Copies of this chain bind each other. A is one copy, B any other.
Amino acid sequence: MYEGAVQDLIDELGRLPGVGPKSAQRIAFHILAADRDDVQRLVDALTEVKARVRFCTICGNVAEEELCRICQDPRRSAAVICVVEEAKDVVAIERTREFRGRYHVLGGAINPMDNIGPDDLSIKELLGRLADGQVQEIILAMDPNVEGEATAIYLARLLTPMGISVTRLASGLPVGGDLEYADEVTLGRAFEGRRQMA
C-alpha cells in the first residue's frame, strides 16, 4: 500500500524481534519525519556494530578486540567461570557487581524442540578452558526455565567428575522468566545463595 521505499523500510523493521507490523509502520513514519542527521546516526551505529563488534575468542562475549574487556582485565579471577546463555546475560550479571570472575557464553541452551543440542553450544570451548587446572568453580547461570535447567544439568554431569565445584544460581530468580529481566537485587541475591549441584 505504501510507496516502494517506505514499504521496504516497514518490511525490514518488521523483521526485528518484538517489532510487529504496526510498530514497524510507526517507526518508519518516525524515520520519515526525523532529521536526516538522526537517521544517519542510527545507520552509522548499525554499520559500526557489524564492522567492529565480534565475539571474544576466549569466552564468546561481545568484544571490539580479540578479547572482551573482562577477559582482558587481569583483576578478574581466572579461578571462577560463570557460564551464561547469551552475551546480554553477562551485562545483567555485571550490573549486580557481585561477581569478579570470568564468563563463558554458551550461545544458547539445549532445546530439543528447536534442534539445539550440546554440540551447538560452545561447550567444547568451555572444556578447553579447564585444561590448565586454574578453574576451581563453575557457576551455572542459565535462564531459570526448562531449557536452562536442562543445560545446567547436562553441564553439571559433565563437569563434576572433573573435580571442579559446580554451582547453580540460587532460586530467587522468578521461574519461567528470562535472566536478563531480573532486577539487580534479585540477581545479586541469587548469586550469593548459589548452591552445590549434583
Binds B, one of A12-20, A150-158, A167-175: A12-20
**5 more CB-based (< 8 A) A-B contacts, given A11-B45, A17-B26, A29-B86:** A3-B64, A6-B49, A16-B27, A16-B42, A18-B27
Give the chain B neighbours of A42 by CB distance below 8 A.
12-13, 15-16, 46
A88 engages B29 (CB within 8 Å): yes
How many angstroms between the C-alpha atoms of A46 and B96 in the bound complex? 37
Q: Is the interface of A mostly helix, strand, loop or mixed?
A: helix
Q: Which of B6, B46, B52, B63 contacts A43 (CB 8 A)?
A: B46
A-B contact pairs, 5 of them (CB 8 A): A3-B64, A5-B52, A12-B41, A12-B45, A43-B46
Q: Contact string, A1-43, partner B, CB cutoff 8 A, digits 1/0?
A: 1111110110111011111001101111111100010111111
